[in-house]
Amino acid sequence: MEHEHGRSPTHYRCLGIGVGPANLSLASLLHGHPEVSNLFLDRKTAFGWHDDQQIPGTSLQVSMLKDLVSLADPVNPFSFLAYLHDQGRIYHFLNARFPAVPRQEFRNYLAWAAGRNENVVFGEEVREVAFDGVFRVRTDRRTLTADNVAVGVGIAPWLPPQARPWTGTTQYHVSEFMTRAQDLGGKRVVVVGGGQSGAEAFLDLVSRTGTALPRRVSWVSRRRNYFPMDDSPFTNDFYTPSFSDYFFTLPGELRKAFNEQHLLSSDGISEDTLRAIYQRIYLHRFVEDRTDLVGLHPNREVVEVGRGPAGTWALTLRHNDQPGRAERLEADVVVWATGFRCAPMDFLEPIAGRMERVDGEPKVDEDYAVLWDGPPGHDVFVQNATRQQRGLADPNLSLNAWRSRRIADRLLGVRGDDQLASFIEWSAKDTGEAPWPA
């Protein structure tokens, strides 16, 4: 590590860009390893985890063991259990018997892990990464150098083109829900999007009471129905290291088809959320006599957005089975829960031409290092940017610790033990005999 006359070091073995759960996991795994000097930068002024979507009552969609480190390094001091213990609340947590960890509590755990790691810095944005024998990482404050770079810039809200011209205080992406979706009492609100985020927004709106309750809440989804996430044991095997490694070997078109076919195993709605919504609707309709509060419109796409009378919005819907019949919805407010895409990595522009790409993603090896023409030992690792190559688990927390462990092991020059393979034989076992005749 290079020291400039007593000033803080400016050269690192690994420089992390972005501090969400992905890079925070890597920072946690590297923390006890001074031989890999590291620094992780985030442009936010303080740690946050989808803070504007911390809707009260929401929970983590995965096991609490899928924290930053436990599945890869169960004795690491940055585990969720270590957090509970450190805060003196481990018995309370046990007694509370939450069916799933409250999302806000998991967010607080992540903030705790970031706060006790001196290699994590907030309020510094990476603007450019160049290479001239070392990586030169230019931020809004200084230039640092590194042997390796780990990019974990996560996801960015996505809006369909027909929504983009209209965004503001009465049309917005669900990622801004907690700030914007206030004072909706007596209004007509349309939620567009049939995934977990849309479901949580819808549930929150129909659960408001008294004068805070909207006049009407409509829920539009392209999916044929409001489908659940598949959380059953064999489907969950898709979210294990051995399946991820198998998936990685498949041809691109098979991987694409798989991701489309099994999307609901990750992007469906938690069954608990669906049940809560159904029960709320029952109570409104049959017990509290609010027969006109809710409108459910699955199997439809919003094809046009325009201005309606007196400052309202007019949405044109196309029914997937009956495309000839145009439906109209009038709204005071539209919440677009239309998902997220990988955040842009424009700061890699100076070296982008040297990096291989596949299916619109940086092409990675088995350790998530981008294939490029740079010298060995100088890697750009990417986290949460290779769904087409590594499968549906890539954006979520399931393989977060394991993926970071792969990267950390590469930096440390070791290879940790993998867990036992799945019960399922994912790959064909070649007997060496002639294949079946076609």
Ligand X SMILES: Cc1cc2nc3c(=O)[nH]c(=O)nc-3n(C[C@H](O)[C@H](O)[C@H](O)COP(=O)(O)OP(=O)(O)OC[C@H]3O[C@@H](n4cnc5c(N)ncnc54)[C@H](O)[C@@H]3O)c2cc1C
Contact residues: ligand X, CB under 6 A? 17-23, 41-44, 49-50, 53, 60-62, 125-126, 152-155, 197, 343, 347, 383-384, 395-398
Between 176 and 409, CB nearer to ligand X = 176
Amino acid at 402: W
DSSP 40-70: EEESSSS--SSGGG--TT-B-SS-TTSSSST
**Residue in this structure with the two tokens 């109209």, named with its chain if needed:** 328
Residues contacting residue 341 through CB under 8 Å, at least 6 positions apart = 155, 156, 158
From residue 421, how far is each of 72, 173, 415, 426 by CA, in Å? 15, 40, 16, 10
Between 148 and 383, CB nearer to ligand X = 383
**Residue in this structure with the two tokens 């929970």, named with its chain if needed:** 59
From residue 151, how far is each of 81, 382, 386 by CA, in Å? 27, 5, 12
Count CB atoms within 10 A of the CB of residue 375. 9
Q: Smallest distance, Å, CB 260 to ligand X? A: 19
* Neighbour-count burial for 43-59, b at 16+ CB within 10 Å, e otherwise: beeebbbbebbebeebb
Q: Smallest distance, Å, CB 205 to ligand X? A: 16
Q: Smallest distance, Å, CB 329 to ligand X? A: 25
Between 19 and 203, CB nearer to ligand X = 19
Between 108 and 396, CB nearer to ligand X = 396
**Residue in this structure with the two tokens 């419109």, named with its chain if needed:** 297
Between 19 and 144, CB nearer to ligand X = 19
Between 105 and 332, CB nearer to ligand X = 105
Between 122 and 248, CB nearer to ligand X = 122
Between 127 and 280, CB nearer to ligand X = 127
Q: Smallest distance, Å, CB 45 to ligand X? A: 10
* Neighbour-count burial for 142-172, b at 16+ CB within 10 Å, e otherwise: eebbbbbbbbbbbbebebeebbeebeeebbb
Residues contacting residue 178 through CB under 8 Å, at least 6 positions apart = 51, 52, 53, 54, 55
Do the strands 143-151 and 380-382 form a parallel or antiparallel pair, or are they unpaired? parallel
Do the strands 126-131 and 135-139 form a parallel or antiparallel pair, or are they unpaired? antiparallel
User: Residues 392, 259: contact at Cβ < 8 Å?
Assistant: yes
User: Residues 198, 191: contact at Cβ < 8 Å?
Assistant: yes
First to last CA, the chain: 61
Q: Smallest distance, Å, CB 401 to ligand X? A: 12
Between 284 and 390, CB nearer to ligand X = 390
Between 55 and 84, CB nearer to ligand X = 55
Between 14 and 317, CB nearer to ligand X = 14
User: Residues 193, 300: contact at Cβ < 8 Å?
Assistant: no
Amino acid at 428: A
User: Residues 277, 199: contact at Cβ < 8 Å?
Assistant: yes
* Neighbour-count burial for 341-364, b at 16+ CB within 10 Å, e otherwise: ebbebebbeebeeebeeeeebbbb
